[in-house]
Amino acid sequence: MHRLSRALAGIDAANSLDPSRITVDGGETPAELAYGRRMTAMLERVHPEASELLRLAVRAQHIRRWEIPRTTYPMDRGGYLRWRKELGRKHAAWTGEIMAECGYGDDEIARVGSLLRKENLRRDAETQALEDVAALVFLAHYAADFAGKHPPEKVVDILAKTLAKMSERGKQAAAALDLPPAVRHALEAAVAQADDP
46 vs 42: CA distance, rounded Å: 6
> pTM higher than 0.85 for the full model?
yes
49 vs 57: CA distance, rounded Å: 15
The whole-number pLDDT of residue 45 equals 96
The count of C-alpha atoms lying within 13 angstroms of the C-alpha of 123, restricted to the half-sphere facing its C-beta, is 3
AA identity, residue 43: L
pLDDT by residue for the chain (197 residues), tens only, comes to 699 999 999 999 999 999 999 999 899 999 999 999 999 999 999 999 999 999 999 999 999 999 999 999 999 999 999 999 999 999 999 999 999 999 999 999 999 999 999 999 889 999 999 999 999 999 999 999 988 888 888 889 999 999 999 999 999 999 999 999 989 999 999 988 876 65
Residue 171 Cα to chain centre, angstroms: 15
Please choose, from the candidates 182, 60, 183, the residue with its C-alpha nearest in 3D space to the C-alpha of residue 174.
Answer: 183
Query: Crossing angle of helices 31-46/125-137, nearest 10°?
Result: 120
Which sequence spans correspond to the domains of the chain?
1-119, 134-197
Beta bridge partners of 22: 29
Helix (H, G, I), strand (E, B) or coil at 12: helix
Beta bridge partners of 24: 27
The whole-number pLDDT of residue 148 equals 86
The whole-number pLDDT of residue 150 equals 87
Q: DSSP assignment, residue 166?
A: S
Helix (H, G, I), strand (E, B) or coil at 61: coil
The count of C-alpha atoms lying within 13 angstroms of the C-alpha of 100, restricted to the half-sphere facing its C-beta, is 9
Direct distance between the N- and C-terminal alpha carbons of the chain, in angstroms, rounded to an integer: 53
